[in-house]
Amino acid sequence: MTTLAMHASDGVLNAPASLLFGAVAAVGLTFAAIRARKELDERTVPLAGLVAAFVFAVQMINFPVLPGVSGHLLGGALAAILVGPATGALCVSIVLVVQALLFADGGLTALGVNITNMALIGTAAGYVVAVALRGLALRSRGGLAAVSFVAALVNTVFAAAGFVVEYAIGGQGAVSLGGFAAALLGVHVLIGIGEGLITAVTVGAVASVRPDLVYVLRARREQREGVIP
């Protein structure tokens, strides 16, 4: 099995847990689709499509984090900052579906688990951080980069924490949960630093050309104007 697996495979969690998180993912994506209607408009649809394609591309680029261990972008915080949390969750989900169906990466019964962690939990965590620090993001380009970095790091660690919870519920290997949690969260702090750097550079690049398209920068003004409820 020298496969290039980047996400949870089938069989790591038992069938009930896979079903449970398949349902969680379905409910979460339904809410995301409803809310995304408010985030998307004529101007932002092309950017949202491109953000999904960009996340797919960057997820292919595994970078070293420890000897023999790599990491890659998850992309939830990046997408939420650029196109909004609901649209961002859908972007990451589309990437995961394409990977599972076309590239045999990320299990089919594990798709719900992978969507729950990377598209829902990671994206939500990253977005909450970005909104909490929006004052800093609005102050300067450097502030925006710093906020992007922190949001992305938190997104990675929370997505990994999601997998720990799922493994506690329906894991099929006989291992100590504490040791597993520590190892998984530890390595994802390192991966999160890489994710933070990629996110800061990407958001910074978009903001330097089209700051008007960056969701986190425009949401407050448009909320006041009643464009986004």
Stretch 2-31 residues interacting with other proteins (CB under 8 A) = 2-12
CB 113 within 8 A of CB 164: no
Stretch that binds other proteins, among 17-25, 94-102, 126-134, 141-149 (CB under 8 A): 94-102
CB 208 within 8 A of CB 86: no
Contacts (CB under 8 A) with other proteins, residues 135-164: 160, 163
The Cα–Cα gap between 77 and 105 comes to 21
Minimum CB separation from other proteins for residue 119, in Å?
13
The Cα–Cα gap between 82 and 54 comes to 12
* 84 interacts with other proteins by CB under 8 A: no
Stretch that binds other proteins, among 39-47, 121-129, 132-140, 216-224 (CB under 8 A): 39-47
Minimum CB separation from other proteins for residue 132, in Å?
26
The Cα–Cα gap between 129 and 171 comes to 30
Nearest to other proteins of 47, 147 (CB atom)? 47
* 178 interacts with other proteins by CB under 8 A: no
* 203 interacts with other proteins by CB under 8 A: no
Contacts (CB under 8 A) with other proteins, residues 205-224: 206, 209-210
Tokens of 77: 């915080």
C-alpha closest to that of 72 among 86, 84, 55, 87: 55
CB 28 within 8 A of CB 115: yes
